[in-house]
Amino acid sequence: EAGVAQSPRYKIIEKRQSVAFWCNPISGHATLYWYQQILGQGPKLLIQFQNNGVVDDSQLPKDRFSAERLKGVDSTLKIQPAKLEDSAVYLCASSFEGAAGYTFGSGTRLTVV
């Protein structure tokens, strides 16, 4: 089966600019996750979707971050405006059900300068 697709792989932007990341989960996986992984730390959950509904976005900085999952398939994560501390790898993962484990995409490495 095809894996979780993410794009772009790398992005460099200046602070206060906006950026968007895209994720296409594994077909049939109802649950989709966005994580932020800062260098030297474990991934931190930003938002979890079940189909096209939000299950958990308690750690999403909603003043600058937004995410959507139209039609319960693809998802986009947006940052506007970006700050230096947003430099990180943004990982998308999907699962059929949480207890089965997640499949991760390769991530998008964001550098804010």
Partner 1 sequence: AQSVTQLDSHVSVSEGTPVLLRCNYSSSYSPSLFWYVQHPNKGLQLLLKYTSAATLVKGINGFEAEFKKSETSFHLTKPSAHMSDAAEYFCVVIDNTNAGKSTFGDGTTLTVKP
Residues lying near partner 1 in the complex (CB under 8 A) are found at 31, 33, 35, 41-45, 48, 50, 55-56, 91, 93, 95, 97-107
Q: Which is nearer to partner 1, 45 or 73 (CB)?
A: 45
Strands 10-13 and 108-112: parallel
Q: Which is nearer to partner 1, 100 or 113 (CB)?
A: 100
Phi, psi of 3 (to 5 degrees): -85, -170
Angstrom CA distances, 111 to 14, 18, 74, 83, 105, stand at 8, 12, 23, 10, 18
3-state secondary structure of 99: helix
Q: Which is nearer to partner 1, 25 or 105 (CB)?
A: 105
Tell me the closest approach of the beta carbon of residue 80 to partner 1, in angstroms: 26
Q: Which is nearer to partner 1, 4 or 79 (CB)?
A: 4
Tell me the closest approach of the beta carbon of residue 58 to partner 1, in angstroms: 9
Distance (Å, whole) CA 26 – CA 105: 10
Tell me the closest approach of the beta carbon of residue 81 to partner 1, in angstroms: 27
Which pair of structure tokens corresponds to residue 70? 């139209």
